[in-house]
Structure 1
Amino acid sequence: MSSARLTSQFRVSALQKLAEAEGGFAAVLRKGDQLSGAILLVGQIKGRNPVIYERYPELDGSFSWHQVTQAIGGDETEPTKYWKSRIKRDPDLWVLELDVASKERLDGLLAADS
């Protein structure tokens, strides 16, 4: 029995809509491969302290989001440098920015897409 996988474009669109439905802001910073491109998520709380998360596969076939970088020492350009360097190695990469009101909302959005 095969299970249908959601496309990357669908996942990005769903995350955008969920964030906006809760009063947050969402923007696609870079479009990747519509079907299977990896997704980086730049999460911010009230426009500050960007943190990058990436979806990784788990042993049971599910996926979960893991923090891969954050603004260090107040340098909020560090996450941008990270995803721009990743694009050079992975041209199929999606980059989605979510700006929400609280860490709890961001965690909820990430959990909804796991």
Structure 2
Amino acid sequence: MSEPKLKAKLFIHAAIRRCSLQALPAVVAHKGDEDSGTILVRVYMGGRQCRVYGQVRDAEGRLGWLCATGPQPVDEERAEAYVARARAIDGDLWVLDVDSADGSAPFLEPLFRA
């Protein structure tokens, strides 16, 4: 049985708050369904490098995050292309942008590896 999931809007507000506590700028780039929208997080790392994370569940049903763009940072254009494709598939998608020089965000836990 999988753990319960927060409503998307509540999760986004909490994520922005956690970022602000660590002086990390975070903004909603695209607003999705307030209750059950899927969430993508685009982390800008400076130097035009990004990572895009998506929520996934592991084999035991635990909710976590996976870097959707692979283990290495990608350029902003490739990250934007990934987000655009995801939005074309899922109109309820939320996109949260975070600026973090080291590529981390305080709410991206647990982080799964592909």
Which category describes the TM-score, using the shorter chain as reference length?
Answer: 0.7 to 0.9
In structure 1, the residue matched to 2:108 is 110
In structure 1, the residue matched to 2:64 is 64
Quote the RMSD (CA, aligned, Å). Answer: 2.4
User: Residue 98 of structure 2 contacts residue 105 of structure 2 at CA under 8 Å; is this kept in 1?
Assistant: no
Is 1:26 matched up with 2:22?
no
TM-score with structure 2 setting the length: 0.81
Query: C-alpha displacement at 1:39, in angstroms?
Result: 0.4
User: Residue 18 of structure 2 contacts residue 106 of structure 2 at CA under 8 Å; is this kept in 1?
Assistant: no
Percent identity over paired residues = 27
TM-score with structure 1 setting the length: 0.81
In structure 2, how many angstroms separate the alpha carbons of the residues matched to 1:48 and 1:109?
22
In structure 2, the residue matched to 1:37 is 37
Residue ranges of structure 2 left out of the alignment (5+ in a row)? none
Residue-pair matches, total: 108
CA offsets per residue over residues 45-83 of structure 1, 9 Å max, x none? 346411100000123332110001141xxx321101111
Q: Secondary structure at the match of 1:111?
A: coil
Give the ranges of 4+ consecutive aligned residues of structure 1 lying more than 4 Å apart after TM superposition.
Answer: none
Residue ranges of structure 1 left out of the alignment (5+ in a row)? none
Query: C-alpha displacement at 1:35, in angstroms?
Result: 0.8
